[in-house]
Amino acid sequence: MTLLITPQEVFNRTQLDNNIDASELKPYIEDMHTEYLNSLLGDTLARKIKAEFTADTLADSYLEVFEIMKLILIYASAGEYCLFAQYKVSNGGIFKLTSERGEIVSSSEVEALSKRYKSKAQVYISELERYICSNIANLPEYSTQENNWDKRPSRGRSQNSGWTF
């Protein structure tokens, strides 16, 4: 899977500490790519962005969409990680990790922090919506899909954004 963000970028823009094992964060980054990228851009535009990212040829409107998507993915990944980071599931059950240096926060505090990060992602989802609406002529992949089974961009989506074109 081509990932548009790295764990280090999440650490740099959020309160997540650099001492978190990047391999622990990566599944949340992958999940947020699945949840947001194709849903917001549609399969055709998402493929175009990923291909140009991989080839290091992003430019113009595609580069701007990429930059906004990165911010959405960073904050959504941080929010998702916060919800699950303190728990480990093993054959012996589900365990809540404790810290030698700090105090464990309540579940409501963790949920509030997660919601705050998801709220920041929502700000950038709105920014992406405004940008795409203003530059639709420069992003033909947004309006057309290459085949019948491609996911189309979500419009009027209430779960993660207010898209209503």
Question: Is residue 164 a part of any domain in this protein?
Answer: no
What is the end-to-end Cα distance of the chain in Å, rounded?
29
CB 104 within 8 A of CB 98: yes
Looking at the structure of the chain, the number of domains it has is 1
Cα four-point dihedral sign 61, 62, 68, 69 = positive
What would the pLDDT profile of 18-55 be if each residue is shown by its tens digit? Answer: 889 999 999 999 999 999 998 899 889 999 999 999 99
Domain of residue 105 covers 9-143
DSSP 98-143: --SSS-PPPHHHHHHHHHHHHHHHHHHHHHHHHHHHHTGGG-HHHH
Whether 158 has a pLDDT exceeding 70, the answer reads no
In a domain, 50, yes or no: yes
Residue 39 lies in a domain: yes
